[in-house]
Amino acid sequence: QVQLQESGPGLVKPSETLSLTCTVSGGSVSSGSYYWSWIRQPPGRGLEWIGYIYYNGNTDYNPSLKSRVTISVDTSKNQFSLKLSSVTAADAAVFYCARYFRDSYYFDYWGQGTLVTVSS
Amino acid sequence: QSALTQPASVSGSPGQSITISCTGTSSDVGTHNLVSWYRQHPGKAPKLMIYEVSKRPSGVSNRFSGSKSGNTASLTISGLQAEDEADYYCCSYAGSSTWVFGGGTILTVL
């Protein structure tokens, strides 16, 4: 059974960089069948796709966040990571990592989510 | 890239059927048959219920069905059960390797 687990600071100061890591178990980030994604959900609001990465390092990002987002993958640790720079209060959200199945175009496994608050 | 439009809430009684709409544009829902639906219970991660407009993953009840007409996709739940009470989100491929979600719909089982 594939499991994803987010980790990282729950509090980030305005203007700083948010950094999160997703650890994958029961599956491999090196699999060519999947992209590894980040999705966020501000409190009480809907989901927003942030971006995803392929095992070879190819990335795609939400155009509205592209200038501030970097997603990277570490195949040796079976992890992938998110960096979001210059955060503001509007970036506060539950952040989910998820697996995207490229052959059928859906997000099939999700982490439980981690809440990140932006405050000084 | 704007969020897909969903009704804020829908409701139905046990045993009834409800439909949740998801309206996009000709750049996303209207062009690509790559709409998926997710159910999210409070405090939980979303769960895939429908993909590629109308396909059900293994293990998802056949009470859930999906369809699309023009720029609007729909999720229908028949034989409503208490466990169906949750938030539902649609998601569509938006071109250029990007994805867009709907704002979410709260389903209340009366």
**CB neighbour burial string for B63-80, b if at least 16 within 10 angstroms, e if fewer:** ebbbebeebbbbbebeeb
Query: Partners of A25 in the beta sheet?
Result: A3
Q: Does A15 touch chain B (CB under 8 A)?
A: no
Rounded to the nearest integer, the mean pLDDT of chain A is: 95
B60 touching chain A per CB within 8 A: no
Q: Are A117 and A92 in contact (CB under 8 A)?
A: yes
Quote the radius of gyration of chain A (alpha carbons, Å).
13
pLDDT at A53: 96
Compute the distance between CA of residue A62 and CA of residue B34 in angstroms, rounded to an integer.
17
List the single residue in B46, B100, B103 with the smallest CB-CB distance to A110: B46
**Does A66 contact chain B (CB < 8 Å)?**
no
pLDDT given for residue B2 in this prediction: 80
pLDDT tens column, A71-109: 999 999 999 999 999 999 999 999 999 999 988 889 999
Q: Does A108 touch chain B (CB under 8 A)?
A: yes
CA dihedral A2, A83, A114, A87 (to 10 degrees): -160
Does B1 score more than 80 pLDDT? no
pLDDT band at B39 (very low <50, low <70, confident <90, very high): very high
Q: Is the pLDDT of residue B43 over 80?
A: yes
pLDDT cut 70: percent of chain A above it: 100
- Spatial distance between the Cα atoms of A99 and B47, rounded to a whole number of angstroms: 12
Residue of B nearest to A96 (CA): B45
Give the per-residue pLDDT at B96. Answer: 87
Quote the CA–CA distance of B86 and B41 in Å, as a whole number: 5
Query: What is the pLDDT, as a whole number, of residue A106?
Result: 93
Determine the pLDDT at residue A77.
Answer: 96
Q: Decide which of B95 and A5 is more confident.
A: A5
pLDDT (tens digit per residue) in B49-95:
999 999 999 999 999 999 999 999 999 999 999 999 999 999 999 98
